[in-house]
Amino acid sequence: MRNDHVTLRSTAVFDLLAPRTPAVPVKVELRYDTRDPYAVVAAFRTGRAGWVEWVYARDLLADGLLAEAGDGDVRIRPSVEDPESVLIELNSPSGHAMFEASAQELADFLDRTYDVVLPGNEHLWVDVDDALTHLIPNDLS
């Protein structure tokens, strides 16, 4: 387990896509924190209401830049219409959203995460004892 934690941040603009309406630009903050080395956070600016965060696997982002990836609430795939774009589909009980993002911006962000934690070395950054402490109640009586 490593103690020299790093948090990477990058801002981008994703286009919210909806049928029969123009795309709506949405500010997104991408974050990567070595305390959760397997995950990427995408925080979407929702106007005055604040931010909505989605956490998904870093591998899902990497796979989605090359081919259709994901079979759960987050799906990522290259755009058929624009090879420089990626489609990000988010599903939740409260709704569905489709975003288009720059493949290059996402790839650059992903490369920065690899500079900090190489793929396959994520386990070196996980403190299993600390994780178990948060999962197991302190009072077992």
Domain 7-134 fold: Transcriptional Co-activator pc4; Chain A (2.30.31)
Q: What is the pLDDT of residue 7?
A: 96
Q: Where are the alpha helices (DSSP H) in 10-124?
A: 58-66, 103-116
User: Residue 26, SS3?
Assistant: strand
- Distance CA(100)–CA(86), nearest Å, equals 6
Confidence of residue 139 (pLDDT cuts 50, 70, 90): low
- Cβ atoms of 23 and 16 within 8 Å: the answer is yes
| pLDDT > 70 fraction of the chain, expressed in percent and rounded | 93
Residues 6+ apart with CB under 8 A from 51: 29, 43, 44, 45
Tens-digit pLDDT profile for residues 89-107: 999 998 899 999 999 999 9
